Amino acid sequence: MKKVISTESAPAAIGPYSQAIEHNGVLYCSGQIPLDPDTMQIVGDNAADQAKQVMKNLSAVLEAAGTDFSKVLKCSIFLDDMGDFGEVNEVYGGYFKNDPPACETVTLQTLPKSVLVEISCIAIV
């Protein structure tokens, strides 16, 4: 059965989607961008600072579903500029010290709200 996961500790959806969906013990987290959940304003002027807020938002969604980064199977990282890969990867890697998940990183012409980074993930609940 499909279960919608929602928390006020992460930004509210800015479109017709859920923060995450759990189905058969697997959690599908929508992409998070660097929005402060209280103000819905973009946090950070550079990719590293924005990545920190993105990971904080993902952590809140994972926690709301009763899981954490240790159970993440796969992440998708979307960048505005591949030149930011190193600094975003350093922030991202700090959350996966052991047995990191599968991952891909791609650049897009424009991300929502013209942010520099967006990350989604799939995890076990």
pLDDT of residue 49: 98
Secondary-structure percent of the chain, ordered helix, strand, coil, rounded to 5: 30, 30, 40
Q: Which amino acid would we find at residue 122?
A: I
CA distance 85 to 105: 8
CA distance 41 to 60: 17
Contact 35, 11 (CB under 8 A): yes
Main-chain dihedrals φ then ψ at residue 59, nearest 5 degrees:
-60, -40
Query: Quick one: CA torsion of 55, 56, 61, 63, rounded to 10 degrees?
Result: 110
pLDDT in tens, 7-63: 999 999 888 999 999 999 999 999 999 999 999 999 999 999 999 999 999 999 999
DSSP tag of 63: H
Dig out the tokens for 30 from the structure: 């929508």
pTM of this prediction?
Answer: 0.95
pLDDT in tens, 88-100: 999 999 999 899 9
CA distance 98 to 38: 32
